[in-house]
Chains A and B, each alone.
Chain A
Amino acid sequence: MNDKGMIIAGLIIFFTIFTFPIWYNHGAAAPPPEPELSQKAKAAKTCVEDTAYMRTEHMHLLNQWRNTAVRDGLREYTGKDGKTYEVSLSNTCLDCHSNKEQFCDRCHNYASVTPYCWDCHTYPKEKM
């Protein structure tokens, strides 16, 4: 039992290092991202669905879009408001949201998600 001091000191050092990320970042949370709308998206006022739905569910909607377009060959979508859109990431979504860096990337970077859409699909800046 002579090592009591050593053990306690060791434990203190261990927990300090172990919890370092928590107390180091405490109160210094990165500001939440503010995706910017392009002029065209602002003018359109609404996306294919309402904003709240798009904010939380756009990834599911996009998955649904890709499956119905590729697998079922259904390439038109009618939203809640009765407007019809072409089911296409590059031609419909990015036609309005032409500012990928300010719109898509800001939130995706913040949430640390890396969707692989752009490995294949083209976004406007990239058009050659």
Chain B
Amino acid sequence: MKKSRREFLKVAGITILGAGAGSLINGVSVLSAAESGRKPGLDFFKNSDALKAKRWGMAVDTRKLSDEICEKMQVSCHQLHNVPDFIKKFGKQEKRHEIKWIWETGFEHAFTGRENEFPRENLEDLPVVVTCNHCEKPPCVRACPTQATFKREDGIVMMDFHRCIGCRFCMAACPFGSRSFNFRDPRPAIYDRNPDFPTRTKGVVEKCNFCAERLAVGKLPACVEASEGALVFGDLEDPESDIRKLLAENYTIRRKPELGTNPSVFYII
């Protein structure tokens, strides 16, 4: 049978339409199968007790701080988060591998700007406790190639230890030295391990997480609880919060504001 061009085009057109419809039906059935099957991830939600904020922040009242309180805060934080103590385990030479989430430091180390040649008397003797500033524009997050460090919606700069590849770009990017690297296996140097919080492995960077795991169950950060009122924690975006009231009433400074990272930790001096 000899086909005319017209007939050939008709058949070709119908074939193409048919094939198209077939793949459409196929696609729809795949889609509906996916819907009827279990799709994990649809059933997650926040704990109803969780503390919520638009931007978490902390105010450090240096007038109420003392060396003992700083020590207490550090111990409670480090115990809770399974932070290894290499110096206690291996001696002084391990200072270079020290891991810190929160620690006391000298005023001149915390505030390096030195704006004033003749500061108030005893200003530089004030005890200062430093930790991750949970910057509004965190340079560590920009530096991280795997998004292991990320900023949550509530302003907390978090580490996802699962994703960290240990490149330490974040440590180079952080102007506050808030990050520590596990140069060696931390487990042997963890005293009194807290089973509710994971440890880290060698080759992972770690830092303060504003106790995200405690906020999730309605508790304030461990350092705030141990601080005897020297630390105030709250929502910086809420004008009625305790922290905003404290900031409104007192003169506060932040670490290295000139760098434009917009830290969320404030110091009353």
Contacts and interface: CB of A to CB of B under 8 A. Distances in A.
B41 A78 contact: no
B112 interface: no
Interface string A59-88: 011001010101111111111100000010
Nearest to A85: B43
A60 B37 CA distance: 14
Interface in B65-105: none
A41 B98 CA distance: 41
Contacts of A127: 193, 195
A57 B198 contact: no
Q: Which interface residue of A49, A68, A120 has the most chain B CB atoms within 10 A?
A: A120
Given A75-B46, A87-B44, A128-B193, A120 B216 contact: no
B212 A73 contact: yes
B216 to A, nearest CB: 5
Contacts of B195: 90, 122, 127
B198 A120 contact: yes
A90 B217 CA distance: 16
Interface in B147-169: 150, 152, 154, 158, 160-162
A40 interface: no
Given A77-B44, A78-B43, A87-B44, A53 B150 contact: no
Given A73-B152, A75-B47, A61 B196 contact: no
Nearest to A66: B162
A3 interface: no
A70 B38 contact: no
A74 B40 CA distance: 13
A128 B193 CA distance: 6
Interface in B2-57: 38, 40-41, 43-47, 50
B201 A74 contact: no
B199 A75 contact: no
A96 B269 CA distance: 51
Given A70-B158, A70-B160, A120-B161, A77 B43 contact: yes
Nearest to A80: B38
B47 A76 contact: yes
A121 interface: yes
Q: Which interface residue of B40, B150, B193, B198 has the most chain A CB atoms within 10 A?
A: B40
Given A61-B40, A74-B44, A122 B193 contact: yes
Contact of B196 (A66, A70, A90): A90
B160 A76 contact: no
B212 to A, nearest CB: 7
A55 B2 CA distance: 60
B200 interface: yes
Given A60-B40, A80-B38, A127-B195, 14 more contacts: A57-B38, A70-B158, A70-B162, A71-B150, A73-B50, A74-B44, A75-B216, A78-B45, A79-B43, A90-B198, A120-B161, A120-B199, A122-B199, A128-B193
9 contacts: A68-B41, A75-B216, A76-B45, A77-B43, A78-B43, A120-B198, A120-B200, A122-B195, A122-B199
Task: Please list the 10 inter-chain residue pairs (A to B) with the smallest Cβ-Cβ separation, ordered nearest first.
Answer: A74-B44, A120-B198, A78-B43, A122-B195, A68-B44, A119-B201, A64-B40, A127-B195, A121-B198, A70-B160
